[in-house]
Amino acid sequence: MMRYIFFYIHTFLFSCAPENTIIAEKHGAADDSIKKLSSLDIALPIAKPGDWLYEHKERGQTFLEYINCNPISPNATQNVIYIQPLGNFSRNTDSIIHSTVEYLHAFFGLKVNLLPVISDSLIKPAYKRIREDGHLQYLTTFILDSLLVSRLPEDGIALMAITDTDLYPKDSWNYVFGQAYTRKKVGVSSIFRYIENDRPEKCLERLIQTSSHEIGHMFSILHCTNAICVMNGSNSMEESDGRPNRLCSVCLNKLCWNLKFNNRERFKELSEYFNKYKIQSDYKLVVKDLEIYSK
Ligand SMILES: [Zn+2]
Ligand SMILES: [Zn+2]
């Protein structure tokens, strides 16, 4: 059976240490006002065959589990997110990548730098394949382990490649939209399947979703099972298109605790971004978040 897996995550090297639960008591919640946002969380629908949670029995990750797992965190010397374009971009995607960099800065509240493109000649033939319809794919694990890990700049806390070429994580899988490690600070996202000629705006909406999802993993956040959330796993384009570019209250609490951003400022920046790029559904959600948070 062909498997279509979209948001994919490696969780090895990721373990929780029960003896560290004392850390949770010491730190508590990131921001008490975030709790008010749980009223805006929408319950996940019951998973049906083919959905991510039907095929993958994930149990999620609580806030306490997250902070007790010693997540990857920025510090005084490592605090920049790097975006690494990889391979040939046959389509005019420059503006989409620049707009994604702008989004990631608003989403994570960290400096985001765009690196010069690197050639796909660095990917050896053994780590590429041609699908039945003739399109090329790159093996994600080669990109992550052999290209990216050694390229993480000294001040980098996350390095994510973006490619215009399709991706696969292992021979038995059909393709993935993106993949990231939770401990090694590297990830990769593809725009190959995102471009629709009659709906050009969908490419940006999808790339900012996958990019923020994968970088969320790079800060050690696991898939969300709390509510509809950008950190949900997705098993199809239909499923991922049904996800908003919004963190649920639990995932926002994790990211805020880790990155220590100002929620009000973050909501304002995101609302300006969604307004600028006419992403109406996410604009409405973040305006509501800001309203409830500020009450
Ligand atoms: Zn994922
Ligand atoms: Zn969530």
Q: Which two tokens stand for residue 293?
A: 């948070």
Q: For residue 133, how far is its CA from the centre of ligand 2 (angstroms)?
A: 36
List the structure tokens of 122. Answer: 């660095």
User: Measured at the alpha carbon of residue 90, what is the angle toward residues 84 and 95, in degrees to the nearest 5?
Assistant: 60
All structural domains of the chain, each given as residue ranges with its CATH number in brackets, are: 7-263 (3.40.390.10)
Alpha helices, DSSP H only, in 85-156?
A: 94-108, 140-142
C-alpha 146 to ligand 2 mean position (Å)? 31
- Expressed in angstroms and rounded, the spacing between residue 5 Cα and the centre of ligand 1 is 10
Instruction: Output the CA 30–ligand 2 centroid distance in Å.
Output: 15
**∠100-109-237 over CA atoms, to 5°?**
40
- Ligand 2 centroid – CA 232 distance (Å): 7
| pLDDT for res 72 | 97
Compute, in angstroms, the gap from residue 146 CA to the centroid of ligand 1. Answer: 21
Output the CA 213–ligand 1 centroid distance in Å. 6
| Ligand 2 center–CA 140 separation, angstroms | 25
User: Per-residue pLDDT tens for 232-288?
Assistant: 999 888 999 999 999 999 999 999 999 999 999 999 999 999 999 999 999 999 999
Hey, which residues does 272 pair with through a beta bridge? none
User: What predicted TM-score, i.e. pTM, was given to this entire model?
Assistant: 0.91
Pairing outcome for strands 128-130 and 111-114 = unpaired
User: So what's the pLDDT on residue 92?
Assistant: 73
- Do the beta carbons of residue 255 and residue 67 sit within 8 Å? no
Percentage above 90 pLDDT, the chain: 80
Beta carbons within 10 angstroms of residue 258's beta carbon: 19
Average pLDDT over residues 130-155: 96
How confident is the model over 210-230, as a mean pLDDT? Answer: 97
Tens digits of residue pLDDT in 7-44: 555 433 333 333 333 444 445 566 889 999 999 999 99
